[in-house]
Structure 1
Amino acid sequence: MWISRQLGRPVFKAWNAALAGTRWTKGVPAGTPGRIAIPVAADSDASRRVAMRLVDDTGFDPFDAGVLADSWRRRPMGPAYCTELTLDELGPPLAAADRARGARIRDSMPERFAALGDAPTREEVVEMNRAARR
């Protein structure tokens, strides 16, 4: 929201809830079973529609995550952050996001990452992120 005010332009938020390795390797055509969903937030419907088309074009199902003020729900270590969920799976974790719990989980991440070793795989990081919510 700060960036939008500084630029005087609409801004949307997408892709930040996916690992770089996910973005590079997991994009598939629309309709592919198990296609990963990316939450998209923007303050205008028009901006959100443009962003959702871009997400779809990059091989992911766009999920309408509402306005930028609600985009904290997919911040680092939230229940939908870098967990490679499908469109059907993404809504409940976004709705269940809790700021205080997310901060506690985020603060535990250095220890969790250290336990993965020097070169964790994308799969290990995704599983670690999913396990943090169990």
Structure 2
Amino acid sequence: MPRTLGLIGSGLIGTSLARLAVAAGMNVVLSNSRGPDTLADLVASLGEGARAATPDEAARAGDLVVVTIPLKAYDRLPVAALRGRTVLDTMNYYPQRDGRLAVLDSSELTSSSLVQRHLAGSRLVKAFNSIGSNQLFTLARPAGAPDRSALPVAGDDETAKQEAAQLLDTLGYDTVDTGTLAESWRSEPGTPVYTKPYLGEPPAGLTPADYFPWFLSTPGVPVPAARVRELVAEAERGRAGGVLPQGAGGSQASL
């Protein structure tokens, strides 16, 4: 089991991952673009297993490093500090937030392939991008639990994918390998496995204005590995760039 998880980005997904990691007995080093002082309350709530740092420090401290920032900021990731490391990429392409990226709109690259090109010396694995932040926390279960969920991962390096699967197992999830980074579109926004299966059915009569608060608060429903495989197999590649959940606007760094 990795001992320390580095987090570059400490928004909704980053916070859920930090909480799961600390609960599993790991150390967590959190960072964001605004400086360690802005994370004082979050670190205090997590307890002794957590500390705040700069992105460069978090990258160097983590046995594994999760990058969970808006995709439009991918080119600010610390290349030198992440060189040689396994990096888990939770980022999704939302044009209404990130602006249009021609290389993604043309399907020349997936978003994770684009990030891997920037982090050429790192081993990138797409993970944690297909589930909402609250469901990520509430659906975690011990190994062997009958209601354990699975999450898709993709990557070009088999050892890195094994490391990612070990982390997922530690945090409470099974893993479904969806292939290489070129195939990571199978869990991108708009595909069958993206968020909706983990949410379950929204309440009858839910208004558009109420959808996002429900999205952030509902505990969700388990999605086992067999069902994730089915959903991934059903995916058809369309135009890149999903739609943010209703009411999310452009400010959510990571759902």
1:27 partner amino acid:
A
Residue 86 of structure 2 corresponds to which residue in structure 1? none
Per-residue CA distance 1:45-104 (angstroms, 9 max, x = gap)? 11110011111111011111111110101111210011222111111110110123xx5x
Secondary structure of the structure 1 residue equivalent to 2:123: coil
Secondary structure of the structure 2 residue equivalent to 1:39: strand
Secondary structure of the structure 1 residue equivalent to 2:229: helix
- Aligned partner of 2:186 among 69, 73, 79: 73
Larger helix percent: 1
| Cα distance, 1:44 vs structure 2 | 1.1
Give the distance between the partners of 1:80 and 1:87, measured in 2 at CA: 11
> Is the aligned partner of 1:13 residue 2:126?
yes
Contact conserved, 2:126 with 2:153, CA < 8 A, in 1?
yes
Larger radius of gyration: 2
1:96 partner amino acid:
E
Residue 46 of structure 1 corresponds to which residue in structure 2? 159
Residue 172 of structure 2 corresponds to which residue in structure 1? 59
Q: Which runs of 4+ in 1 moved over 2 A?
A: none
Residue 24 of structure 1 corresponds to which residue in structure 2? 137
Residue 234 of structure 2 corresponds to which residue in structure 1? 96
| Cα distance, 1:10 vs structure 2 | 1.2
> Is the aligned partner of 1:87 residue 2:240?
no
> Is the aligned partner of 1:37 residue 2:150?
yes
> Is the aligned partner of 1:3 residue 2:115?
yes
Per-residue CA distance 1:12-69 (angstroms, 9 max, x = gap)? 0111011101112111101111211110111011111001111111101111111111
Q: What TM-score do you get using the length of structure 1 for normalisation?
A: 0.73
Secondary structure of the structure 1 residue equivalent to 2:176: strand
Contact conserved, 2:141 with 2:147, CA < 8 A, in 1?
no
Larger strand percent: 2
Q: What TM-score do you get using the length of structure 2 for normalisation?
A: 0.40
1:22 partner amino acid:
Q
Structure 2 gap segments, 5+ residues each: 1-112, 199-222, 248-255
Give the distance between the partners of 1:96 and 1:44, measured in 2 at CA: 24
Looking at both structures, which has the greater relative contact order when contacts are Cα pairs under 8 Å and sequence separation is at least 6? 1
| Cα distance, 1:2 vs structure 2 | 1.8
How many corresponding residue pairs? 107
